[in-house]
Amino acid sequence: MATHQIVEIKNLSHRYATAWAIRDINFEINKKGIYGLLGSNGAGKSTTMNILCGVLNQTEGSVYINGINTNESPIDAKRQIGFLPQVAPLYLDLTTYEYLLYCARLRDIKEAAIPPSLEEVMEKCGIVHVRNRLLKNLSGGYRQRVGIAQAIVHKPKVVILDEPTNGLDPVQIVEVRNLIKEIAQDRTVILSSHILSEIQVLCEDIIMIEQGRLVFSDSMEAFNNYIAPQSLLVEFENAPDLESVAAIKGINRVEQLGIKSYRVFFDGDKSVCEGIVKESVGKGWRLTELTVEKNSVDEIFRQLTKNTANN
């Protein structure tokens, strides 16, 4: 029996008028779990998602969902996909149950299978107790849960979520994150965000698009090599001279920021922190601040874009 990648994108490009939104994007997803689609605003994430979901026809390239070409067999491909856009597509004058019933019929679920499917998805998403509430009377967190429910009611192979925690309060964010993790236990979830911390918390693998180009596609562990600590902010009550700080083992370079403060550059080995503390205690510098700095998202994008351009 032939096996297929769950998602396969080949040479994907799309042009709006004369400007290319994305260009020559290639990646594969071959297992369950949560994949982060990361990029700054305007990077090409939404275009890529809309093509994946069949909302938009690409200018060039091919997309396969569970081995099905989305252009050649769009209906069959869409049966494999669940999608929650950034703003959940809710009809606010319907109850939770009425809305999910409508979505189930749109998804062409057999009529006899609809009631058990709705009960199952409401239970999974924790919305059974609001089944008869009007959607307009639900909180943002529950509306998002209903939005996720409509995306999985037909048991798709792939679930695509666009900024699923956007606009939620901290408690709601944790609840939705836990729901996403549960959903990913038996299907592939692609989670789009421009917020690095959101991707880091949830995702095992990461796909990064910047300026319409794929600049990274690998595990989160591999990605973390780009965000390893590179510098420290240190401050002393009895400030030593620059040369004394630079002489500490593991420090590559030192910048003086103020009379008592420095930026210390090192190779990522955090044992240098211990060395600074020991020197401070031994020589009476009276360390008052030691803060680890990491590369910003903009800097990571810059590095990855530069690496891609050089290849």
pLDDT in tens, 263-297: 888 876 768 888 999 999 999 999 999 987 765 55
* Mean pLDDT lowest among 85-89, 129-133, 209-213, 267-271: 267-271
The CATH fold assigned to 7-226 is Rossmann fold (3.40.50)
Q: Which CATH architecture has domain 229-293?
A: 2-Layer Sandwich (3.30)
Q: Closest by alpha carbon to 300, among 207, 192, 198, 226?
A: 226
Quote the pTM value: 0.76
Given this model, what pLDDT does residue 118 score? Answer: 97
For the chain, give every domain's residue range. Answer: 7-226, 229-293
Domains 7-226 and 229-293 share a fold: no
When pLDDT is averaged across residues 131-139 and rounded to a whole number, the result is: 96
* Mean pLDDT lowest among 18-22, 47-51, 164-168, 235-239: 164-168
Q: What percent of the chain has pLDDT over 90?
A: 64
When pLDDT is averaged across residues 57-75 and rounded to a whole number, the result is: 95
**What confidence category does residue 1 fall into, taking pLDDT thresholds of 50, 70 and 90?**
very low
